[in-house]
Amino acid sequence: MKLQNKSISEQIELITRSLVALESYNGTAGESRKAQYIYDIVRSFPYFQKHPDKVWMQKVPNDGIGRQNVFALLEGESAKTLLFHAHYDTVGTDDYGALQEMAHDPDFLQKFFMDYEGEDKVREDARSGNWLFGRGSLDMQSGIAVHLANLLYFSEQKEHPKGNLLFLFNGDEESEHAGIIAALSELDRLKGEGFDYLAAVNTDFISPIYDGDCKRYIYTGAAGKFLPGFYIYGREAHVGDVLTSIDPTAIASKINLEINQNLDFVEKIPGEFTLPPSCLYFKDDKTAYNVQTPLSTSIYFNYFVYEKTARDVLYVMKKAAIKAVEQLEMKSREQYENYRSYHGFPERELSWHVDVLTLREYIFWLKERGLDPDPVMEEVYRRHEGEDRRTIAYKMVEALQLLDPDRTPRVIIFLAPPFLPHNYLNEENEYGKKVKDILEGCLNQISRETGEEFVVKRFFPYLADGSFLSLHEEDEDIEVITKNLPMIDDLYPVPIETIRKLNIPSINIGVYGKDGHQWTERVYKPYTFSVLPKIIQRVTKDLLNI
């Protein structure tokens, strides 16, 4: 790729196009090829031809498709270090339908959308010539290109930067974040060599929030998330005797109505776009047809956390479940009584009570009765290894429920993988305030020069790799996570202590465009290719002066 004698915007466009042309769908061998391609680009820069040891690959351990992280280092005059990171995987291209074959051809897509009748805005954008289409153009091959062009820019300055500029390109952002999680050990190794991390800069994409919104949102952190799961074990009955059953599908339905998209669960943080929990899975566990009511049901929710912790989340989830089972208990008793007295049946000792426990509480309950949960979970884990992690978690919890000789109807609430820590700049401490002041100073200046309007927010609203660079939880919160996520060390081995030690605030100064994860995905060239690299350059220089 010829990058010499080109403006930075030309370089970024050229790199973006070459990256878009090369597919790297999450979970495919394309991810490794993309890593190699990025490595080769860095290696071609004059500085890295002279210093080949400053760019290297790190294998993601135990990774089924052999992912690699690419690191590049521009050594500075002090131990202060800024990390620049971007993910190279993209989602697939099924959304392109009949045009799937052309998903990596920006020029074809632009021509196609110039006559596209489906959506006026897309057509106008295509005709303006200001947008680059194609899978990954926005999310986030252009973000990689911005980092690469800046790496080239900094490497060609006469003076060394005031601190280390460390670049990381990783895969698996769109699924389980294996790339960034593996990178933590490398970041930790460098910390051991004296690197002092000031902050990380991610370029993941931003979009207008509403029609006509032209503001550029800069985020000083990223939302975290949990996946609280409910295993609901009822009491089966023949359909001919249905009123004696405890129906787990009814309990799950009630829990779903109580929690799903309920704005009462939204964290109220002024100025932030915080979101309610959403149901991602809801199934009864029957495997075949018969006339018995279902015995158990599984349901889990995506639960965003901004300032809240696992403890807060489990507390409100348990409260919601208790409310659901109590209401149903009352209703079931009433219905049964009405039916019984109508037919003149004799009274019968029957309870519709359902216990609600967190996994940690239930394990404690088992141990008190001399029942050992560990070998049971290990056996399940071995039997199902390699399957979907959520399925394994449910199978483990189910096996534990079956240890109860009384088969007590019960809701067990646990945390399923993955969880993403929330990463935010703590503006209450001096360092956090300083970083924010520097960022705002840079943005004000750029705003004056270019007329761009910036808004600084705290939480990147989508999920991002930056989450894994910092952890605010205290010991007790950590314990809530480790004790309620079954066999966390095997099922979801996130190096919690390393994250805590690194504690790198991740700022997102993102590429700008529309329709990420849709076939109309496109990046806005004037801002992304010209203004954005300058912002990052300025922020870099100013942060290194801290």
| Smaller CB separation from Zn ion, 41 or 140 | 140
State in angstroms the smallest separation of the CB of 465 from Zn ion.
8
User: What is the Cα–Cα distance from 498 to 475, expressed in whole angstroms?
Assistant: 14
Query: Stretches 7-15, 133-141, 430-438, 503-511: which one binds Zn ion (CB under 5 A)?
Result: 133-141
Q: How many CB atoms lie under 10 A from the CB of residue 401? A: 20
Does residue 400 bind Zn ion (CB under 5 A)? no
Query: Stretches 138-146, 401-409, 413-421, 474-482: which one binds Zn ion (CB under 5 A)?
Result: 138-146
User: What is the Cα–Cα distance from 135 to 95, expressed in whole angstroms?
Assistant: 10
Nearest-5° Cα angle at 258, 254 to 262: 150
| Smaller CB separation from Zn ion, 167 or 230 | 167
Query: Stretches 124-132, 202-210, 391-399, 482-490: which one binds Zn ion (CB under 5 A)?
Result: 202-210
| Smaller CB separation from Zn ion, 34 or 483 | 34
206 token code pair = 């931003």
| Smaller CB separation from Zn ion, 204 or 473 | 204
Q: Which residues contact 317 (CB under 8 A, 6 or more apart)?
A: 228, 230, 259, 303, 413
| Smaller CB separation from Zn ion, 259 or 275 | 275
| Smaller CB separation from Zn ion, 38 or 411 | 38
State in angstroms the smallest separation of the CB of 139 from Zn ion.
4
State in angstroms the smallest separation of the CB of 84 from Zn ion.
15
- Percent helix, percent strand, percent coil in the chain, to nearest 5: 45, 20, 35
455: left (phi over 0), alpha (psi -120 to 50) or beta: beta
Q: According to CB under 5 A, which residues from 474 to 503 bind Zn ion? A: none
Please select the residue that binds Zn ion; options are 13, 89, 204, 452, rule is CB under 5 A.
204
**Over 249-305, what HEC string results?**
HHHHHHHHHHHCCCHHHCCCCCCCCCCCCEEEEEEECCCCCCCECCCEEEEEEEEEE
| Smaller CB separation from Zn ion, 43 or 517 | 517
Please select the residue that binds Zn ion; options are 103, 140, 184, 187, rule is CB under 5 A.
140
For strands 216-219 and 454-457, give the pairing: parallel
Query: Stretches 135-143, 238-246, 250-258, 423-431: which one binds Zn ion (CB under 5 A)?
Result: 135-143
State in angstroms the smallest separation of the CB of 461 from Zn ion.
12
Going residue by residue from 253 to 282, which x/- string records binding to Zn ion, judged by CB under 5 A?
------------------------------
Query: Stretches 70-78, 200-208, 360-368, 502-510: which one binds Zn ion (CB under 5 A)?
Result: 200-208
CA 195 vs. chain centroid, Å, equals 26
Q: Which residues contact 374 (CB under 8 A, 6 or more apart)?
A: none
Query: Stretches 10-18, 140-148, 349-357, 502-510: which one binds Zn ion (CB under 5 A)?
Result: 140-148
State in angstroms the smallest separation of the CB of 204 from Zn ion.
4
Q: Is the peptide bond between 140 and the residue preceding it cis, with omega within 30 degrees of 0?
A: yes
Number of residues that bind Zn ion (CB under 5 A): 3
| Smaller CB separation from Zn ion, 252 or 511 | 511
| Smaller CB separation from Zn ion, 23 or 204 | 204
State in angstroms the smallest separation of the CB of 129 from Zn ion.
25
Q: According to CB under 5 A, which residues from 363 to 392 bind Zn ion? A: none
Longest CA–CA separation in the chain, Å: 96
Does residue 31 bind Zn ion (CB under 5 A)? no
* Strands in 63-187 per DSSP E: 68-74, 80-87, 131-133, 164-170
Does residue 139 bind Zn ion (CB under 5 A)? yes
39 token code pair = 């490595």
Contact between 490 and 497 under an 8 Å Cβ cutoff? The reply is: no
Q: According to CB under 5 A, which residues from 32 to 71 bind Zn ion? A: none
| Smaller CB separation from Zn ion, 12 or 310 | 12
From the number of C-beta atoms within 10 Å of its C-beta (0-12, 13-18, 19+), residue 279 rates as middle
Query: Stretches 2-10, 53-61, 153-161, 204-212: which one binds Zn ion (CB under 5 A)?
Result: 204-212
| Smaller CB separation from Zn ion, 82 or 511 | 511
Residues 321-334 as b/e (b if ≥16 CB within 10 A, e otherwise) read beebbeebbeebee
**Over 389-403, what HEC string results?**
HHHHHHHHHHHHHCC
State in angstroms the smallest separation of the CB of 87 from Zn ion.
6
User: Rule CB under 5 A: which residues touch Zn ion?
Assistant: 139-140, 204
